[in-house]
Chains A and B, each alone.
Chain A
């Protein structure tokens, strides 16, 4: 069956697409049977654009059943043959990164749909541009402006007389997976840096991530040293770590957190890697944090998917959750981050964090520790900067501090959704050098543009701004829960009330308060006008306001 092009498009069915005027086009529009994992087969109409796949029910009040960006599709398979017997046995099986869908036809050819989906879901393999490069959405805020490394370092009080900003990696020649701008010890010369780079995996040298505003201890991140089986040493690396240690004069040791389990760090020696040994680094203390690698984590996440989709395990929910190990991984990452934060904050020791290459576990640890230490990162913009800066993958770990974050759950879910959607350029490619080559900031829209132009939607009304308050979550299973609103949101049986009723009540009260304050102001104004003195009186609104506000 041939696809009917654009003519079917109307505002009723594709409301959200209208935002992306001129950029999208309908590829497929036809009737199918959708095998819903919760409610069985549903007759529906499928629309496929170059950005997403929609399915609208033809049975019940034309409800939208599926709405998935093509970017989240991980596999498309043909199911059955044209001669297959049985109901709904001929069709397409589409696997998504977050859930599976099966589309089935009766009596129609599926070839065109299969081909179109394959082309647009995997554009790079078909020499097509990623949708983000076609997206012409306009927002009144430019999210690409959110992160300015120089400004972010300035906020932290950098450079200072111990730390300098270097442009040695301006053209990514020192390290192609590092950003152009790096903060390094003042006493280390560019030549020193080049020599250290030879001894660190993928040249990822230790660079500053965060500095404590008071005690000047720092969090430094890097990759593993290239020790190898023979236990190689590098004087420059040893000296460099000592220079880092000396930037903070309060303690004699530098603390090194190797995110890996001890055995894995040892095993890495066989492939040329390793860890900092006691005899080479006298002034450093090394701890292993036992966090598993990305393969283990991914396997665990797969298991989570199995227990929540399509059906949620009922009476054995807890033991099946435990068997996924997912919350155990979260617990270990959290525990590690708490240790890093505590060392810097109360242990008054500078900290160096690495794993093997220093981009997965290291980023998790440093960004979480920074979230605990620096309340700025708990604001919407601060968090965007943190994501932009450190790359992060996270779960529901901070739910236990409902007043400490400016953003809400929807903010986190939106970020995760667009990790795969390909609508924005924010998460395209692996490092700054490639992003620059592809001119991502010029040719795509930033996710932060979407968020920052609708900030109210992503705000937590309970947010209480507190400067320099360290947050220590409790890394116990007793407090960890699976992030139901993210992992189980497709299940119609587990639907969380949105918005949360307590939050809604609070928002109502906030509005009432503002209304009263305004009325009070007006009354004040009226009464001061009545009083003979027409000139600005002590009770003028401008002075009235701070008085009322002292309360919070």
Chain B
């Protein structure tokens, strides 16, 4: 599923029928209210998609040149999306339609993509949830991909307002059953279009063969073996059916604690060192049980610490690193910086932009993840140590760090297919709880933590600093982050391979769906277990771990020596992690904000020049080949992919319709207090030798 691009060339959707659009400003509405004649715009439904409710004469506000424009249309809610039907696409030119998102239109919001809904009552904005007593005159929808929609309901019939508002609130915010996910209806109704493209070899890691192949690729098969002890999820429903463990490890050990306390192989480095992960043993009070656990771990430890295995360094991610709550808090502050309702808000926050950004800590969290990944890399690469990642369930920060380390160390993971295989291996088979972490079922806001997005942001930092080392662009990462909320791909909609298999299986048998027995909620703030792991393993390993000062020195030396050499894009890749080097992923976060758009600028300008030049060189090469073969006439020149690259907006290929005019945007807010420079400001201008600076 991952292999499916959402944005791409060729084909394109059917152009919507032309329709009447009323270009009126809100203040003009009264005068021509009566004359509004709406022409039907066809609603495109996916296979299995059903219309739930609709409302006519809804006004969608579009921000343009710091004033708002309204477009009349119909607002609908299906079991897949909220859509606004009003033709706003007449102005699209070729380049733009070519790169249009084929699943989610400009005015479509999948139900899972809705973050917060606000209503405006007498100019006051209030969050909406549950049963409403009063219906708002305006609906504001904040999306998880950071789009913001404003829908005016003042001219909509009252019953329709009630129906659409309560419908949207219910379908996006009320807790949902797993079986109600749209992807099941889609899978049933859609023809078998999941046939894999033969060119696309994303390894799914759902067979023993896939794991053997990966072991062979990384030469891990000398010391590690793929096991099928969990076939049919007999041992654990948290583990995948097949996985890899150290060769001498007895299979009964895996059964002992349902796969907990077992070092599970992630990846092998060229020098034979491996990256391993382990989930914590259940927390016990009883001394006898603790004794059993201790001797079990001692046994495990003896196995992995005897030659041929390298010295093991443990990284306890539950206690010495970020907590999931840190990530959640940071991201909820961070995203608010981009969910901007209007131009005034944009410029008001602009003055304090850097301190707002810093106080969210999101960039600092990215830096800490990158730093930790470098530390792990240093152990594997320079110290010849195995690294064992510990985490309560080994399915959050374990996924993040193991995949980040692999992106840095294994160039295969920087190809598109390699990256998708990595996501499949570490995140999908690794049992990352996408369903809970994305809060797809709206069952617990507390569980919602953007761990996968954090990983993508870390990869973006790497790709941004070293673009030639990656087979894919930032647009790929952005689109991938969007697909978390599109329930036609099943990839990101389950908590474990077991959950996916049992549910998808039932579906295929057309059995009536029962609510899957959801695993007991795992709170992620449980710290007791962390200490347990540390106590049990820590004592034995502590002597092997360098003191933290030494560690810092090793890190510095490794980091600085790598950066002082020319970069080998096909080898080890390290990020810069100094303050100014960690940046905001502008394409993902700023793409819908019209004020932030630079016409004819941004990175896209050089990238498209590069693409043009590549096309041209290829074309010339063809011509030369043809010359060699025949003396015929020159072939006609192939049309260029992007003809007007210099005029593309920095937000390309997103937010195409946001600004058509070439008027500059001007800040509307003034200067911040100068503080201690106030007295200087009063001084006269004079001849000043700038050399004093």
Residues of A within 8 A of B (CB): 74, 97, 261, 264, 267-268, 271, 290, 292-296, 298-302, 305, 312-319, 321-322, 325, 327-328, 331-332, 335, 338-339, 341-342, 346, 355-357, 360, 393, 400-404, 419-420, 430, 462, 464, 466, 469-479, 481-482, 484, 488, 492-495, 497, 501-503, 505-506, 509-510, 512-513, 516-517, 519-520, 523-524, 527, 530, 551-552
Q: Which residues of A contact B691 (CB under 8 A)?
A: 74, 97, 420
Q: Are A474 and B692 in contact (CB under 8 A)?
A: no
Q: Are B580 and A516 in contact (CB under 8 A)?
A: no
Q: Which residues of A contact B357 (CB under 8 A)?
A: 318
Give the shortest distance, in Å, between B655 (CB) and chain A (any CB): 14
For the complex, is B605 an interface residue (Cβ under 8 Å from A)?
yes
Known pairs A322-B352, A341-B664. 11 more at Cβ < 8 A?
A: A267-B682, A292-B674, A318-B354, A318-B363, A327-B354, A328-B671, A403-B605, A478-B350, A494-B576, A506-B610, A516-B621
Q: Are B664 and A338 in contact (CB under 8 A)?
A: yes
Q: What is the bound-complex CA distance between A290 and B601, given in angstroms? A: 27
Residue in A325, A356, A462, A481 whose CB lies within 8 Å of B580: A481
Q: Which residues of B contact A497 (CB under 8 A)?
A: 567
Q: Are A494 and B578 in contact (CB under 8 A)?
A: yes
Q: List 16 A-B contacts (CB under 8 A).
A: A293-B684, A296-B677, A317-B580, A339-B666, A357-B686, A400-B598, A400-B601, A401-B600, A403-B645, A464-B609, A474-B596, A476-B353, A478-B353, A513-B613, A520-B620, A520-B623
Give the shortest distance, in Å, between A545 (CB) and chain B (any CB): 13
Q: Are A519 and B662 in contact (CB under 8 A)?
A: no
The closest CB in chain B to the CB of A519 belongs to B624
Q: Are A509 and B614 in contact (CB under 8 A)?
A: yes
Give the shortest distance, in Å, between B55 (CB) and chain A (any CB): 35
Known: A295-B688, A302-B693. A473 touches B598 (CB 8 A): yes
Residue in A298, A482, A502, A510 whose CB lies within 8 Å of B468: A502
Q: Are B614 and A404 in contact (CB under 8 A)?
A: no
Q: Which residues of B contact A325 (CB under 8 A)?
A: 672, 674, 677
Q: Are A495 and B351 in contact (CB under 8 A)?
A: no
**In residues 547-570 of chain B, which contact A (Cβ within 8 Å)?**
560, 563-564, 567, 569
Q: What is the bound-complex CA distance between A302 and B346, given in angstroms? A: 29
Residues of B within 8 A of A (CB): 346-347, 350-355, 357-359, 363-364, 367, 466-468, 560, 563-564, 567, 569, 576, 578-581, 583-584, 586, 590, 595-603, 605-607, 609-610, 613-614, 616-617, 620-621, 623-624, 627-628, 631, 637, 640, 645-646, 650, 662-667, 670-672, 674, 677, 680-688, 690-693
Q: What is the bound-complex CA distance between A478 and B350, given in angstroms? A: 7
Known: A470-B662, A479-B598, A502-B467. A318 touches B681 (CB 8 A): no
Q: Are A505 and B693 in contact (CB under 8 A)?
A: no
Q: What is the bound-complex CA distance between A464 and B621, given in angstroms? A: 23
Q: Which residues of A contact B596 (CB under 8 A)?
A: 474, 476, 478-479
Q: Which residues of A contact B665 (CB under 8 A)?
A: 472, 474-476
Q: What is the bound-complex CA distance between A58 and B605, given in angstroms? A: 46
CB-based closest 4 A-B pairs: A317-B579, A472-B664, A477-B353, A322-B354
Q: Which residues of A contact B359 (CB under 8 A)?
A: 319
Give the shortest distance, in Å, between B346 (CB) and chain A (any CB): 8
Q: Which of A290, A474, A512 has the most CB of B within 10 A?
A: A474
Residue in B590, B680, B692 whose CB lies within 8 Å of A296: B680
Q: What is the bound-complex CA distance between A346 and B569, given in angstroms? A: 47
Q: Which residues of A contact B354 (CB under 8 A)?
A: 318-319, 321-322, 327, 477
Give the shortest distance, in Å, between B487 (CB) and chain A (any CB): 32
Q: What is the bound-complex CA distance between A493 and B561, given in angstroms? A: 10
Q: Which residues of B contact A301 (CB under 8 A)?
A: 693
Q: Are A516 and B595 in contact (CB under 8 A)?
A: no
The closest CB in chain B to the CB of A464 belongs to B646
Q: What is the bound-complex CA distance between A520 and B625, given in angstroms? A: 10
Known: A318-B355, A477-B354. A402 touches B671 (CB 8 A): no
Q: Are A493 and B687 in contact (CB under 8 A)?
A: no
Q: What is the bound-complex CA distance between A494 and B582, given in angstroms? A: 12
Q: Which residues of B contact A302 (CB under 8 A)?
A: 693
Instruction: Classify the interface of chain B: helix, strand, loop or mixed.
Output: helix
Q: What is the bound-complex CA distance between A267 and B685, given in angstroms? A: 12
The closest CB in chain A to the CB of B566 belongs to A497
Q: What is the bound-complex CA distance between A512 and B600, given in angstroms? A: 26
Q: Are B662 and A474 in contact (CB under 8 A)?
A: no
Known: A325-B674, A509-B613. A400 touches B620 (CB 8 A): no
Give the shortest distance, in Å, between A453 (CB) and chain B (any CB): 27
Residue in A331, A355, A506 whose CB lies within 8 Å of B613: A506
Q: Are B606 and A403 in contact (CB under 8 A)?
A: yes
Give the shortest distance, in Å, between A530 (CB) and chain B (any CB): 8
Q: Count contacts between A and B, CB distance < 8 Å.
A: 242
Residue in A268, A319, A493, A552 whose CB lies within 8 Å of B355: A319
Q: What is the bound-complex CA distance between A360 and B689, given in angstroms? A: 12
Q: Which residues of A contact B610 (CB under 8 A)?
A: 502, 505-506, 509
Q: What is the bound-complex CA distance between A246 and B583, given in angstroms? A: 49
The closest CB in chain A to the CB of B665 belongs to A474
Q: Are B613 and A510 in contact (CB under 8 A)?
A: yes
Q: Which residues of B contact A332 (CB under 8 A)?
A: 671
Q: Are A472 and B599 in contact (CB under 8 A)?
A: yes
Q: Which residues of A contact B605 (CB under 8 A)?
A: 401-403, 462
Q: What is the bound-complex CA distance between A497 and B431, given in angstroms? A: 38
Q: What is the bound-complex CA distance between A387 and B632, given in angstroms? A: 53
Q: Which residues of A contact B621 (CB under 8 A)?
A: 516
Give the shortest distance, in Å, between A114 (CB) and chain B (any CB): 20
The closest CB in chain B to the CB of A273 belongs to B684
Give the shortest distance, in Å, between B547 (CB) and chain A (any CB): 21
Q: What is the bound-complex CA distance between A516 and B579, given in angstroms? A: 44
Q: What is the bound-complex CA distance between A492 and B565, given in angstroms? A: 12
Q: What is the bound-complex CA distance between A484 and B569, given in angstroms? A: 23
Known: A261-B671, A302-B693, A332-B671. A293 touches B355 (CB 8 A): no
Q: What is the bound-complex CA distance between A475 and B680, given in angstroms? A: 24
Q: Which residues of B contact A469 (CB under 8 A)?
A: 600, 646
Residue in B351, B637, B682 whose CB lies within 8 Å of A328: B351
Q: Are A400 and B693 in contact (CB under 8 A)?
A: no
Give the shortest distance, in Å, between B634 (CB) and chain A (any CB): 8
Q: What is the bound-complex CA distance between A271 and B682, given in angstroms? A: 12
Q: What is the bound-complex CA distance between A283 and B188, given in angstroms? A: 73
Q: Are B590 and A342 in contact (CB under 8 A)?
A: no
Q: What is the bound-complex CA distance between A67 and B569, given in angstroms? A: 32
Q: Which residues of A contact B351 (CB under 8 A)?
A: 328, 477
The closest CB in chain A to the CB of B671 belongs to A290
Q: Which of A317, A484, A488, A506 has the most CB of B within 10 A?
A: A317
Residue in A300, A419, A466, A530 whose CB lies within 8 Å of B646: A466
Give the shortest distance, in Å, between B572 (CB) and chain A (any CB): 15
Known: A420-B691, A488-B580, A516-B620. A462 touches B682 (CB 8 A): no
Q: Are B617 and A516 in contact (CB under 8 A)?
A: yes
Q: What is the bound-complex CA distance between A332 and B670, given in angstroms? A: 9
Q: Are A342 and B580 in contact (CB under 8 A)?
A: no
Q: What is the bound-complex CA distance between A355 and B684, given in angstroms? A: 11
Give the shortest distance, in Å, between A162 (CB) and chain B (any CB): 27
Q: What is the bound-complex CA distance between A302 and B665, given in angstroms? A: 30
Q: Are A502 and B606 in contact (CB under 8 A)?
A: yes
Residue in A264, A466, A520 whose CB lies within 8 Å of B682: A264
Q: What is the bound-complex CA distance between A313 and B354, given in angstroms? A: 14
Q: Which of A267, A271, A305, A502 has the most CB of B within 10 A?
A: A502
Q: What is the bound-complex CA distance between A517 and B613, given in angstroms? A: 13
Q: What is the bound-complex CA distance between A419 and B682, given in angstroms? A: 28
Known: A317-B579, A476-B350. A401 touches B667 (CB 8 A): no
Q: Which of A295, A332, A520 has the most CB of B within 10 A?
A: A295
Give the shortest distance, in Å, between B483 (CB) and chain A (any CB): 26
Q: What is the bound-complex CA distance between A74 and B690, given in angstroms? A: 11
Q: Which residues of B contact A313 (CB under 8 A)?
A: 579
Give the shortest distance, in Å, between B684 (CB) and chain A (any CB): 6
Q: Which residues of A contact B623 (CB under 8 A)?
A: 516, 520
Q: Which of B584, B596, B599, B600 has the most CB of A within 10 A?
A: B600
